[in-house]
Amino acid sequence: MASRTEPSGCSGRGGGGAPGILPLPLLLLLLAAAALIPRGGGQNLVTEDVTVVEGEVATISCRVKNSDDSVIQLLNPNRQTIYFKDFRPLKDSRFQLVNFSNSELRVSLTNVSISDEGRYFCQLYTDPPQEIYTTMTVLVPPRNLMIDIQKDIATEGEEIELNCTAMASRPATTIRWFKGNKELLGKSEVEQWSDMFTVTSQLLLTVGREDDGVPVICLVDHPAVKDLQTQRYLEVMYKPQVRVLQNYPLQGLTREGEPLELTCTAFGKPQPTEVKWLRVDDEMPQHVVVSGSNLLINNLNKTDNGTYRCEASNAVGKSSADYMLFVYDTTATTEPAVHDSRAGDEGSIRAVDHAVIGGVVAVVVFAMLCLLIILGRYFARHKGTYFTHEAKGADDAADADTAIINAEGGQNNSEEKKEYFI
């Protein structure tokens, strides 16, 4: 029977220190660890991620540190070779060679579209080959930015709705609202269609007369675009603002026998269609001349005293302003009353008579003096005097013992300490 000879060093049984065969799991582990050790003279591939706006140019760079003239190639997300060294196997002419050397392969891609997004692979033909990838992200700016307003013409105090829509962006855009220079808060909704996003922001705004002609701005925040905005100008209708101006006398008192001329100014949107004068709680004197917005009294007298009102109206509403007239004697030298007219629903005007204020102040001062006098008399009546009567007879005693006896007896007969009040 033939015998089988095992080669030296391959026996599973050890003797004499000969190594045996390694277990299979340990062998696989060593092989995997060896595969992770970079070779090729310490060369390293370097690249960066790329972010590009749709329609623009992207540049992909594969660089080698410590190059030893190994071959570099670039592959697309489908792992098709775009460039092998300086040769382009791919027939997509949008890829163009920018730079090729032993340490870099740089390629540009024009007219980038969303379909170009993904991972691009840089490969270095070393032993074993090295590979890294760069991610291309394609941004799509919003299109057709527009503001839709619920009512083109609003009335003061009314709440209106505005909607701003930014269509087909990637990623979703952020919408901000401004009224003039003041930022307002809107409510946004996002809709996704495939890889694109449409954002609509709603703004509820209560308008006043001060908002007429003010722009409302819809501004977009998006990484693919800067300063993209659209705006609409508010048109607000409001009732008239009314004021009464005293043309004559410009200063001084309104005295008997002198003229008085008033002018009513009214401004609103739309412009007031009617301006009229009336006398509050009384009939207009017959000698008063009213001509449009002007009121003239040629010869003032005491019967003209009262409140004169100017009213103006338009399609939105009616407003008024009052003028309070007080006619002084021809000899009056007191400071004139202040005639102040202000516009409003009732437009109430108050005249302040300085003489009346002075009288009120005098009465208050007199009352305080009287109060001080009464308080003085009250405290004076309750002021007291304290009297004491010490022991009598001690001064006439011959010696100390006699003085003590006389003092004790005197105290029995003397009056107690008393207080007398005046």
Q: Which residue has the higher pLDDT, 405 or 278?
A: 278
Reported as a pLDDT band with limits 50, 70 and 90, residue 255 is very high
| pLDDT attached to residue 335 | 52
| pLDDT attached to residue 134 | 97
197: closest CA among 185, 188, 184? 188
Asked whether the bond before 171 is cis by omega within 30 degrees of 0, the reply is yes
The CA distance from 157 to 315, in Å, is 15
Residue partners of 173: CB distance under 8 A and separation at least 6: 142, 166, 197, 199, 220, 221, 222
Query: DSSP assignment of 128-164, as one string?
Result: S-EEEEEEEEEEB--EEEEEEES-SSEETT-EEEEEE
CA distances from 365 to 10, 261, 371 (A): 129, 40, 10
**Average pLDDT for 279-284:** 94
| pLDDT attached to residue 126 | 87
**Average pLDDT for 305-317:** 96
CA-based radius of gyration for the chain: 53
| pLDDT attached to residue 399 | 59
Let me know: does 74 contact 81? Beta carbons within 8 Å: yes
| pLDDT attached to residue 415 | 45
pTM here is 0.63
CA distances from 50 to 75, 134, 277, 297 (A): 15, 7, 76, 84
Structure tokens at 89: 């196997």
State the amino acid at position 410 in one-letter form.
Answer: G
- Count other Cβ atoms within 10 Å, centred on residue 272: 23
Q: Which residue has the higher pLDDT, 333 or 196?
A: 196
Over 50: is that where the pLDDT of 171 sits?
yes
Please state the length of the chain: 422
Let me know: does 63 contact 46? Beta carbons within 8 Å: yes
Render pLDDT for 71-117 as a digit per residue (tens, 0 to 9).
999 999 999 999 999 999 999 999 999 999 999 999 999 999 999 99
**Average pLDDT for 125-153:** 94
Q: Which residue has the higher pLDDT, 422 or 145?
A: 145
Structure tokens at 120: 């691009």
Sign, CA torsion 229/196/53/187: positive
- Count other Cβ atoms within 10 Å, centred on residue 343: 21
| pLDDT attached to residue 166 | 96
Reported as a pLDDT band with limits 50, 70 and 90, residue 378 is confident
| pLDDT attached to residue 333 | 66
Tell me which range, 131-140, 367-376, 385-394, is most confidently predicted by mean pLDDT. Answer: 131-140
| pLDDT attached to residue 66 | 87
**Average pLDDT for 143-158:** 94
125: closest CA among 107, 95, 105? 105
Let me know: does 223 contact 230? Beta carbons within 8 Å: no
Q: What mean pLDDT is reported for the chain?
A: 82
Reported as a pLDDT band with limits 50, 70 and 90, residue 331 is confident
**Average pLDDT for 256-267:** 95
Weakest mean pLDDT among 15-29, 40-54, 97-111, 162-176? 15-29
Let me know: does 300 contact 259? Beta carbons within 8 Å: yes
Q: Which residue has the higher pLDDT, 134 or 43?
A: 134
The helix (run of H) or strand (run of E) holding residue 364 is helix 354-381
Render pLDDT for 394-410 as a digit per residue (tens, 0 to 9).
555 565 555 555 555 54
Render pLDDT for 333-368 as a digit per residue (tens, 0 to 9).
655 444 444 444 433 333 334 556 777 888 888 888
Tell me which range, 9-23, 36-50, 247-261, 281-295, is most confidently predicted by mean pLDDT. Answer: 281-295
Query: DSSP assignment of 192-258, as one string?
Result: EETTEEEEEEEEEEE--GGGTT-EEEEEEEETTEEEEEEEEE--EEEEEEEEEEEEESSSS--BTTS
| pLDDT attached to residue 382 | 67
Reported as a pLDDT band with limits 50, 70 and 90, residue 23 is low
